[in-house]
Amino acid sequence: MPKKRFFKPSNRPVDASSSVLRRAVMIGIILAMLAGIAGLVGYLTRPGAPAPPPSSSRSASPAPHKTPSPGSERAVAKPPHTSDPVTFAEAATKALWTYDTRHGSRAEHLTGLKAWMTGERNYRDWESVTSQVPSEVLWLRMHDNHQRARAKVSEGHFPEAFKTAMSQDPGAITQTYVYAVTVTGEQSIGWKHGGSGAEPRSATLAIQCRPHHDCALSGVLPEVAP
SS (H, E, C) the chain: CCCCCCCCCCCCCCCCHHHHHHHHHHHHHHHHHHHCCCCHHHHHCCCCCCCCCCHHHHHCCCCCCCCCCCCHHHCCCCCCCCCCHHHHHHHHHHHHCCEECCCCCHHHHHHHHHCCECCCHHHCCHHHHHCCCCCHHHHHHHHHCCCEEEEEEEEEECCHHHHHHHHHCHHHHHHCCEEEEEEEEEEEEEEHHHEEEEEEEEEEEEEECCCCCCCEEEEECCCCCC
The pLDDT confidence band at residue 4, using thresholds 50, 70 and 90, is very low
The pLDDT confidence band at residue 23, using thresholds 50, 70 and 90, is low
User: What confidence score (pLDDT) does residue 66 get?
Assistant: 42
The pLDDT confidence band at residue 143, using thresholds 50, 70 and 90, is very high
pLDDT single digits (tens) 84-114:
999 999 999 999 999 999 998 999 999 999 9
Q: 39: Cβ–Cβ under 8 A, 6 or more apart, which residues?
A: none
Q: Which domains does the chain have, with CATH numbers?
A: 17-49+79-220 (3.10.450)
pTM of the model: 0.71
- For the ranges 17-31, 94-108, 194-208, the lowest mean pLDDT is seen at 17-31
Q: What mean pLDDT value characterizes the chain?
A: 76
How many residues belong to the chain? 226
User: What confidence score (pLDDT) does residue 161 get?
Assistant: 85
Query: In terms of pLDDT, which residue wins out, 197 or 157?
Result: 157
The pLDDT confidence band at residue 193, using thresholds 50, 70 and 90, is confident
User: What is the mean pLDDT of the segment spanning 51-71?
Assistant: 37
